[in-house]
Structure 1
Amino acid sequence: MSCPATESAGVPAWFEEALAATPERRVAEVDGTPIAYRVWGEAGRPGLVLVHGGAAHSGWWDHIAPQLHSHRVVALDLSGHGDSGRRPAYDMATWAREVVAVAAAEDLDRPVVLGHSMGGWVALIVGVGHPGAVSAVAVVDSPLVARPPEEDRLRERRRPSWSYATAEEAVARFRTVPHQDVLLPYVREHVARNSLRRVEDGWSWKFDPQLWGRPPALPELLPRLTCPAALFRCEKGLVGRRMAAEMAGLVAGGLPVVELPDAGHHPVFDQPLALVTGIRTLLAFWPHGGPARH
């Protein structure tokens, strides 16, 4: 459930136009759990699936997806996130199956899958575990670490029930994990309000506090990629140049690195247009349904 939004001054026209492109909202059942997702663009176009990071949801892409005009774009809420159902336990392989199932529900023929942070790990598992289901994968600031950056901080903040008396109080407390200095206020407002659900004593965040699954072993996963892949490296994010080079060295044939200048770990909040430009460029060089890389 979304809470009522308030008007904000200084919102650029491109952002208002993007939000005016209201997505279709649908649900697919995967392994007995309802998975909510959003769809933009005409049917029959090449497919692109966007995967959010830990504790996020598909609404993080609301101002990004409508600008990717060349594709039919799907953004899902992984189980335990957003408007999707919850599970007794979570793992990356299940989230990868959800991505593949939602793409199939929309008749997307070998879509590109792009994920941010933890969602990038999910995208890589899709590429390795379901190579026939995708044409390429891309990751946005997904680090070569043992756990997603969101997990440590959120473990510290877990409570049996985390709620706020008003939506305004909750929005005021919205923070990214890890913290970054620049959050465009109109993006922050939209994402924060759509991250809330109504509960008995007020408002709470939509994600399941127990959502974390076992992380993948990227040094073992990356060498198994056979489809085209790319890394978006945020200049102020978690993947430094040395780590990016290490990741590229693990992929047969290398891993193209797209640099996002002055971007933090969450480029949808501080450099959304640079991210859109990078994705558009990447999609132009990745013909739909191209041959697998061997």
Structure 2
Amino acid sequence: MSTPAWFEAALADAPVHREVDVEGTPVHYRVWGEAGRPGLVLVHGGAAHSGWWDHVAPQLHSHRVVALDLSGHGDSGRRPSYDMDTWAREVVAVAAAEDLAAPVVLGHSMGGWVALTVGVAHPGAVSAVAVIDSPLVSRPPEEERLRQRRRPPRTYASVEEAVERFRTLPPQDVLLPYVREHVARGSLRREGEGWTWKFDPRLWGPPPLLTELLPRLTCPAALFRCEKGLVSPAMAEEMAGLVAGGLPVVELPDAGHHPVFDRPLALVTGIRTLLAFWPGGGGG
């Protein structure tokens, strides 16, 4: 499959890379867009990193977009332990470092749990939160699969070998090859004479109780439900019933759990539409 022009254009709109210290740990993040625009913070899922948004963020022209590496992920530092509250404070700190006044926070999978924690624990720091296929379960799917492996991260002799072994957690049928290649290469770090994945294998902390978080939301919220993802129509209805202010459900047709890999343009369209109607929105 050839690389489409929209993807090449998105990657050509390269982000600025910055770092902020949060409670003694460096947190790396990427920035797109002009200062003064409404803010949007993107939060990746477990074992992922901010580069998963490289082909999505540049297309959200109405906002100044920030995507961070949660501690234990990507190019951020590691901590002795991790929890949703700490990651939520990292989101707030990155937004403050970029002078984003009450941004929208959008998270995928485990990152959706972080976004919801921000909305509940720091209601004055955000204008709205949205989650992408973040299931109403006790643990994120990424953690379950990694726990099942029960072995330290493998080291690969070359970048090419590691890229070939790259898989999403959980796996899905469709991965656009040009997206997969870009994200996989950004997921690696040097380890001795070889290469290994950037995330800390000890990153899993206690999961949040969404049945307690969702009823405590006071800001606007929304759910992106992937048709082939982990949130069933029944689960989406249950989640919506827990939110006092309502929970609009944006359906992503034929999308797997990781829409950035199989239906990125549908995801961009959904996000643009949502932002246009939310506080501080506007045109695309």
User: How far does residue 18 in structure 1 lie from its aligned partner after superposition?
Assistant: 0.1
Cα distance, 1:161 vs structure 2: 4.8
Give 1:162 deviation, angstroms: 1.9
**Equivalent residue for 2:132?**
140
Matched, 1:88 2:80: yes
Partner residue, 2:90: 98
Give the secondary structure class of the aligned counterpart of 1:259. Answer: strand
Give the aligned partner of residue 204 of structure 2. Answer: 212
Report the Cα offset of residue 123 of structure 1: 0.1
Percentage of matched positions with identical amino acids = 83
Shift of 1:288: 1.6
Quick one: which amino acid aligns to residue 13 of structure 1? A
Distance 2:256 2:190 in 1: 30
Give yes or no for contact 1:18–1:62 (8 Å, CA) kept in 2.
yes
| Alpha-carbon contact 1:61-1:268 (below 8 Å) kept | yes
Match of 2:21, SS? strand
What RMSD, in angstroms, separates the aligned Cα atoms of the two structures? 0.9
> How far apart are residue 158 of structure 1 and its match?
4.3
- Equivalent residue number for residue 245 of structure 2: 253
CA distance in 2, matches of 1:159, 1:166: 20
| CA distance, structure 1, for counterparts of residue 140 and residue 57 of structure 2 | 24
Contact 2:218 2:245 in 1 (8 A): no
Q: SS in structure 2 opposite 1:27?
A: strand
Shift of 1:152: 1.1
Aligned with 1:120 (options 95, 112, 132): 112
Q: Does 1:14 align with 2:2?
A: no
Out of 59, 69, 73, the position equivalent to 2:65 is 73
Find the partner of 1:38 among 12, 30, 33.
30
Look up the match of 1:50.
Answer: 42
Q: Is the 8 A contact 1:158 1:209 kept in 2?
A: no
Residue identity opposite 1:33 in structure 2: T
- Quick one: distance in 1 between partners of 2:97 and 2:4? 34
Task: Please report how far the alpha carbon of residue 269 of structure 1 lies from its aligned counterpart in structure 2 after TM superposition.
Answer: 0.1
Name the SS of the counterpart of 2:118 in structure 1. Answer: helix
2: CA distance between counterparts of 1:50 and 1:115? 6
Contact 1:39–1:73 under 8 Å retained in 2: yes
Distance (whole Å) between structure 2 residues aligned to residue 162 and residue 215 of structure 1: 26
Letter in 1 for 2:64: R
Q: Where does the alignment leave 5 or more consecutive residues of structure 1 unmatched?
A: 1-8, 290-294
| Aligned partner letter, 1:22 | A
- Alpha-carbon separation, structure 2, partners of 1:107 and 1:254: 29
1:99-151 CA deviation, whole Å, 9 max, x = no partner?
00000000000000000000000000000000000000000000000000001
- Is contact 1:248–1:255 with CA below 8 Å preserved after alignment? yes
CA distance in 2 between counterparts of 1:221 and 1:33 reads 26
Who is 2:264 aligned against? 272
In 1, distance between residues paired with 2:92 and 2:246? 25
Amino acid at match of 1:131: P
Structure 2 unaligned blocks of 5 or more: none
Q: Distance in 2 between matches of 1:45 and 1:203?
A: 38
Find the counterpart in structure 2 of residue 5 from structure 1.
none
- AA partner of residue 266 (structure 2): A
1:36-64 per-position Cα deviation (integer Å, ceiling 9, x unaligned) = 00000000000000000000000000000
How many residues of Structure 1 are paired with residues of Structure 2 in the alignment? 281
Map of 2:182 onto structure 1? 190
User: What is the deviation of 1:160?
Assistant: 3.5
Asked whether the equivalents of residues 20 and 27 of structure 2 are also in contact (C-alpha less than 8 Å), the reply is yes
Deviation at 1:199, TM superposition (A): 1.0
Q: 1-side partners of 2:149 and 2:73: how far apart?
A: 17
